[in-house]
Amino acid sequence: MKSRLNAICRPKGFKASARACGLKKKDRLDLALIYSEVPALACGMFTTNKIAAHPVKICKLHLKGRLAQAIVVNSGNANCYTGEKGRAITEKTAELSARLLEIPKERALIASTGIIGKVPDFAKIRLAIPGLVKSLNGKDGSRAAEAIMTTDTHPKEWTRKVSIGGTTVTIGAMAKGVGMIAPNMATMLCFITTDAAIEYPALKAALKEAVDKSFNMITIDGCMSTNDSVIIMANALAGNKKIKLRTGDFAKFSEALSQVCLNLARMIILDAEGATKFITIEVSGAMNNQQAKQAALAVANSNLFKTAVYGENRNLGRVIAAAGASGAQIKENAAVKCSSLKNKFVKVKVDLKIASGTARVYTSDLTPEYIKINAEYN
């Protein structure tokens, strides 16, 4: 496996561990734990799918207290559309983890990814959690990143340092996702740790800005997951002066967080199921930025366009047709430019010729391998 950044353990006071509990086949790591030595300010952003997984619901409930200390993540089973049994398993996982970690249940967050509609085997999870807790250390961040993968080919991690008032603050993050990727947030999970001291409104605003610039601007197949979760924990152990909204320190922290998320978003596209191309779509000349995004996503989600890119078929009519059907205002003399389709990295520029709104969206091509992977996924 590529990537050994140990990213989520880079900020002070964070530990991680990983185990193979049997939810996935062939003894692959499938259970991860992220832990802060002290209570951390926490917030998250989640799927807008009306059929949300039980872990998403529990996270939203627990995050009302604005504090968290642990995140337990399993792969191999989404625990969604699993009724009362699934809900009970999520709650039992939080209760057991919290008891062993000696923290309040409300400070234990749960996340899952994998097959939808199948009740997870809680016996396997229950047996693995004690070992997960006992093996917590400051060096297993990359193993945790590996444990949350499904059809990903490698772990996705990023870390960044930023100076706040002369004090070094560290941000670490890990993510997974290669399919069922579509705004808002594209099946993806992302967990972010930081030792920054920051006020809650500032943390929440920085996370929203980062997600809007990154995970909400990628699409692979236009399919929204039931489990999408981006969660950040900030434990203040860096000792910096507390970051507040609308300050220079906030701007620096927010930019650093956005860069971390954008790099992870790009990794997701580069690792997209069966993909051979990384496509950047830039729309300009829109009525406003929202309409620019609307047009860009319409192009990015066009199967005709994506298959043309795979086949290196320079059919730009498919681009303008998708933009025209997006609902965004567009003139008939709208312009389309495209780089060589023979390269791995492809850039498409669309000028709607209306006003000055802009947007940039990332996607991949659509290949026979994508169809094969999803036809056989179970």
Give catalytic residue positions. Answer: 187
DSSP-assigned states of every residue in 230-257: EEEEE--TT-PPPB-TTSHHHHHHHHHH
DSSP secondary structure code for residue 274 in this structure = T
In whole angstroms, what is the distance from residue 290 CA to residue 302 CA?
18
Q: Does the bond joining 184 to the residue before it have cis omega, within 30 degrees of 0?
A: yes
In whole angstroms, what is the distance from residue 374 CA to residue 368 CA?
10
DSSP E strands in the chain: the ranges are 14-19, 31-46, 67-77, 108-115, 156-164, 167-176, 189-194, 229-234, 278-286, 335-338, 345-351, 357-364
Cβ(283)–Cβ(322) under 8 Å? Answer: no
In whole angstroms, what is the distance from residue 314 CA to residue 173 CA?
37
Buried b (16+ CB within 10 A) or exposed e, 29-39: bbbbbbbbeeb
Q: Supply φ then ψ for residue 191, to 5 degrees.
A: -125, 130
Cβ(69)–Cβ(63) under 8 Å? Answer: no
In whole angstroms, what is the distance from residue 345 CA to residue 6 CA?
28
Amino acid (1-letter code) at residue 108: A
